[in-house]
Structure 1
Amino acid sequence: MNPSGEKALPNAGKRAKDTFFIKTFGCQMNVADSERMASLLSAKGMRPAKDVSEAGLILINGCTVREKAVHKAVSTLGKYHHDGKEAGLDKPTIGIGGCVGQLEKNALFKRAPYVDFVFGTDTIDSLPEIVHRVENGEKHVVFADFDRTQNYSTETKVFAVKATAFVNIMKGCDKFCTYCIVPFTRGREKSRTIDEVLADLARLVATGVREVTLLGQNVNSFGKGNPNAKARLPRELTNQIGKVGPRDGDENFPQLLRAIDSDPRLANLKRIRFTSSHPLDFSDELIECYLPYGVEGAPLNGVKALAPHLHLPVQSGSNRVLAKMGRHHKIESYVDQMDRLRKLNPDVGLSTDLIVGFPGETEEDFQETIKLLDRVQYDSIFAFAYSPRPGTRAAKLVDDVPSDVKNDRLNRLLQHQLRISEIRNKTWIGREVEVLVEGEAKRQVMVDKGLAKGRVWTARTGANHVVNFGDESGRNLTGRFLRVKITDATSLSMRADVIHDHLAAESEAEGFRYTSGLASEVVG
């Protein structure tokens, strides 16, 4: 299950039946789901394989947001299968799940006949049972039904103790943007209760977690009913996905943030992040949570632990394209939200998702997106060329923007943002910031260029900027909070010098060890 362990090794011998390897593609929710899978399998006596060639059980947790992601998941499994045969290894038990399993179900057996079972996003907790059934001779097992109950209760499961954790607070989405496959793979919106989330976080913080990312397809809808959602949907969608669950609406996302901030059990929680959001539900109450903590005369304090970063997908800068996407918001209101947020807290880092080449998008529409970048001044963006997804309403539209035009627009958009990112990053030079160390840098380029001594580490600021720095102490710094001074910046990262570290005493000797080894990859 080592991220680099993807080659079948010659003469590796028989596979150990009690070992597993999980490869994850896609979003943070998929990463959290893979942690859950690993935890469930470990509880049944299984252990992670050091290499995919040693694993008796191979799992792919796949993404469906674009066709490229689906192809990548299936082709990766094909490579594992082929390499194992070439090396003369026993056939492992193979499963594919997550959003790919939820969407494709039995069709995956045609694309990959060597797959033994398929599981969905709501059946992860059945994974040990599924594996048991396959090992007892069942063929082509499919567990991919949605959980039709209207309550959502769970407990976060992590595979290895570390300083960060992903915590699901809700699942599903009721927005049904015309291009989006997510409601078909994650179902309708369901929220946990605030009390349950607080208890979950308290347990994690007691193990040493210091930063949490609250997860949901649209966390801004947390705890909120949407009685008009069913009326907006075509009947076939309502029949396929299910009805909106009855929620009383007496809890919301800003209330959850403030409850976390005031819970004495969570005093050692230093950072709260969240993803993802929708502009329709991004409220003034949530904006107020970003107020820098301790501002005199403010009617409400900001949420002390809330990281000064917001990822708010906009998808296009053109109102005409947004209407075709079924986004139900205007660029003017979106920009107003960003202006008010930056006025309240100028240090907030902003990022977004953008799609180019949506059906009917003209060069004029694309230029509106370029103007949006200039207007908002994002710190970073995630941009993709449009890919039709079967079953969505946009799939019925003529995909009339040629591939070369899509790619050209995508490249121009990314280059434009790189220039903006470099300008914004350089404004941090000379400032002191707190960072959380994520691990040793994969490439020691700074050492090679004489820009650092010892080992180079990668960290992240509260505003979500990547920071690299050198350290000669020989300590394991993973999971430490450090105070650093920014000395240089490019469009993609910053360089810094360490001032001092102040991680809690319980981790002073070693730092946190990231031992899960879950292989993950974001596929565009």
Structure 2
Amino acid sequence: MHPESNPAPAARPTSAQAAQKFYIKTFGCQMNVADSERMAALLAEQGMTPADEVEDAHVIILNGCTVREKAVHKAISTLGSYHKAGRKNAIKPVIGIGGCVGQLEKEQLFKQAPYLDFVFGTDTIDNLPEIVNRVQNGEKHVVFADFDKSMDYSTETKVHGHKAQAFVNIMKGCDKYCSYCIVPFTRGREKSRTIDEVVFDVARLVAGGVREVTLLGQNVNSFGKGNENVKKREPQELNNIIGKVGPRAGEENFPQLLRAIDQDPRCVNLKRIRFTSSHPLDFSDELINCYATPEKGGVAKLSPHLHLPVQSGSNRVLQKMGRHHRIEHYFAQMERLRELNPEVGITTDLIVGFPTETEEEFEETIKLLDRVQYYNIFAFAYSPRPGTRAAKLPDDVPDSVKNERLNRLLQHQLEISGRNFAECVGKTYEILVEGEARNQNLVEKNRVEKNRVEKGTAAEIESGAKPVAAGGRVWMGRTGCNRVVNFVSDSNRNLLGKFFDVKIIAASRLSLQGELVVTPTFAEDAANAKVEFSNPMSALSNPMSELMTSEVVS
């Protein structure tokens, strides 16, 4: 059954729910990670607690992605394994699926997975407590997947537990309708929050101990456009780098939001602002100017990192993709950005094997990597998605060719990343500690990585490797420009959510190894953070490991 247009009030927790545990698995983008964080907070408000293992959960939720066909298959397969795991004990959990998969597939999912209890979409997350309550009271195959068709968008960021980082949705939906992309069909039309509401939201998070926020939207450059509830501000003249008209007079825009957060006295303890994702078509000079140093009028808290998806290095392929930008304009944007701030780390998304892509056009994408010198790329072989315009094109690039091109692209980028990362050795960066490194043996990790690195493409990794002392731990964090850094602390103290200066002593093609410039002390801990931070991913079964990344296809 479907809900009415207006969301139902949150269900009151029952005594049974108060003793229950939930398990959330996340596939996809950072927007999905933020949505899962919201789900965890909503269930926690009902008295539930996160389960470490799926077998211990009374409520199992998979937050799925539909960007690629493979992601949908993976979601269904994972659900099947969870169903089997749930039957091994006496809990008999309720199982649901949400996110873009739930929004797109709706009732069809019950045919693929008859054991499913409920399906919900991207606009009905706040109905989750009610949905779970109804299923646990005996209702079968509950569906909440209607779009909110109003153009208003107002929300409050929910986080589960105390942490130093938070994702903040500033808008949702996309009106670009690129020919290959399913997102407009799973996230709906563009809607923005107001600047005042977002700033208040961020200030509230900062008061709770958050020191880094990532502003989220399918296309943050469209923030404020068409917002019917926006408080009119003085018109600002924008000069988009490709000559397009900027926001209409009186509309809020994304650079204004960045500056409002940066300058608000309630956000004085905020250290970093990140954002994702952008579209080259709307990437304005005003936004580029935000990356300047504060002395030159830039936004002081804005991290020197930009993720700007380009998708292809070929103008003809870009036209087929419906991207509406040309590669020359993209190059001009990158050059202007690098002139303003050479330290900005740039990453991008790329698709290989798009219908009719020739070998020569693929080579143009290789040349793109050489020219821009990305820190990292997220690359995928083209996968037709139902309902998109590209799905009507002949998928005429064989899978073998797609995979071969993907491998070549990734290997080429690894060489570029290796050279770029090697230049970091000897430098000191401020790191926000995000958690313990998966591999606690850095020496062994570096030895394996060294064997994979071709001569001349990266620094000698083992030369600076530092063994882990007894009782010590290996931590992972990121620089402002989004490079991953692993470092050893000989103390067993919890460094999660704190900032430290780390000197880089070794580099691979994928990450950096560093050492603390100053050994943490209790006094520094007190100055560094006002609260103790729990593991930010504890309720989400480490969803960051499921963010869309690319691996070499064997």
TM-score normalised over the length of structure 2: 0.85
- Per the alignment, residue 452 of structure 1 pairs with 467
**1:68 and 1:523 in contact (8 A); partners too:** no
**2:209 and 2:531 in contact (8 A); partners too:** no
- Per the alignment, residue 208 of structure 1 pairs with 209
Q: Aligned equivalents of 1:353 and 1:80: distance in 2?
A: 31
Aligned length: 487
- Per the alignment, residue 272 of structure 1 pairs with 273
Amino acid at match of 1:128: P
- Per the alignment, residue 170 of structure 1 pairs with 171
- Tell me by how many angstroms 1:510 deviates: 5.3
Q: Deviations over 1:31-88 (max 9, x none)?
A: 1111111111111122212321111111110000001111111110101112333x25
- Per the alignment, residue 24 of structure 2 pairs with 22
- Tell me by how many angstroms 1:279 deviates: 0.3
**1:27 and 1:522 in contact (8 A); partners too:** yes
Q: Aligned equivalents of 1:400 and 1:180: distance in 2?
A: 18
Q: Aligned equivalents of 1:511 and 1:33: distance in 2?
A: 20
Q: Aligned equivalents of 2:37 and 2:442: distance in 1?
A: 32
**1:271 and 1:305 in contact (8 A); partners too:** yes
**1:350 and 1:379 in contact (8 A); partners too:** yes
**1:224 and 1:248 in contact (8 A); partners too:** no
Q: Aligned equivalents of 1:92 and 1:409: distance in 2?
A: 43
Q: Aligned equivalents of 2:314 and 2:352: distance in 1?
A: 11
Amino acid at match of 2:527: A
Q: Aligned equivalents of 1:26 and 1:515: distance in 2?
A: 15
Q: Deviations over 1:272-298 (max 9, x none)?
A: 00000000110000000000222xxx3
> Which one of the candidate residues 56, 59, 70 is aligned to 2:58?
56
- Per the alignment, residue 349 of structure 2 pairs with 353
- Tell me by how many angstroms 1:178 deviates: 0.3
**2:321 and 2:390 in contact (8 A); partners too:** yes
Aligned with 1:108: secondary structure? helix
Q: Is 2:72 aligned against 1:80?
A: no
- Tell me by how many angstroms 1:175 deviates: 0.2
Q: Is 2:77 aligned against 1:69?
A: no
- Tell me by how many angstroms 1:139 deviates: 1.2
1:273–1:515 distance in 2 versus 1, CA, 3 Å: closer
- Tell me by how many angstroms 1:522 deviates: 2.6
**1:437 and 1:481 in contact (8 A); partners too:** yes
Aligned with 1:476: secondary structure? coil
1:169–1:176 distance in 2 versus 1, CA, 3 Å: same
1:81–1:512 distance in 2 versus 1, CA, 3 Å: closer
- Per the alignment, residue 482 of structure 1 pairs with 500
Q: Is 2:48 aligned against 1:43?
A: no
- Per the alignment, residue 410 of structure 2 pairs with 414
1:83–1:493 distance in 2 versus 1, CA, 3 Å: same
- Per the alignment, residue 185 of structure 1 pairs with 186
Q: Aligned equivalents of 1:312 and 1:253: distance in 2?
A: 15
1:94-493 → structure 2 map (5 Å cutoff): 94-225=95-226, 250-294=251-295, 298=296, 301-448=297-444, 451-453=466-468, 454-493=472-511
**2:18 and 2:46 in contact (8 A); partners too:** no
Q: Aligned equivalents of 2:90 and 2:526: distance in 1?
A: 46
Aligned with 1:435: secondary structure? strand
Q: Aligned equivalents of 2:20 and 2:350: distance in 1?
A: 43
1:15–1:290 distance in 2 versus 1, CA, 3 Å: closer
Amino acid at match of 2:327: I
- Per the alignment, residue 9 of structure 1 pairs with none
Q: Aligned equivalents of 2:511 and 2:94: distance in 1?
A: 41
**2:473 and 2:488 in contact (8 A); partners too:** yes
Amino acid at match of 1:180: C
Q: Aligned equivalents of 2:531 and 2:286: distance in 1?
A: 41
Amino acid at match of 1:175: K
Q: Aligned equivalents of 1:185 and 1:195: distance in 2?
A: 27
TM-score normalised over the length of structure 1: 0.89
Q: Deviations over 1:194-246 (max 9, x none)?
A: 0000110111000100000000000011002399xxxxxxxxxxxxxxxxxx9
Amino acid at match of 1:492: L
**1:15 and 1:92 in contact (8 A); partners too:** no
Amino acid at match of 2:282: D
Q: Deviations over 1:237-283 (max 9, x none)?
A: xxxxxxxxx99752000000000111000000000000000001100
> Which one of the candidate residues 529, 536, 540 is aligned to 1:518?
540
Amino acid at match of 2:366: I
1:516–1:444 distance in 2 versus 1, CA, 3 Å: closer
Q: Aligned equivalents of 2:298 and 2:416: distance in 1?
A: 28
- Tell me by how many angstroms 1:132 deviates: 1.5
> Identity over the aligned pairs, expressed in percent?
69
- Tell me by how many angstroms 1:426 deviates: 1.3
Q: Deviations over 1:101-129 (max 9, x none)?
A: 00000100000000011000000001111
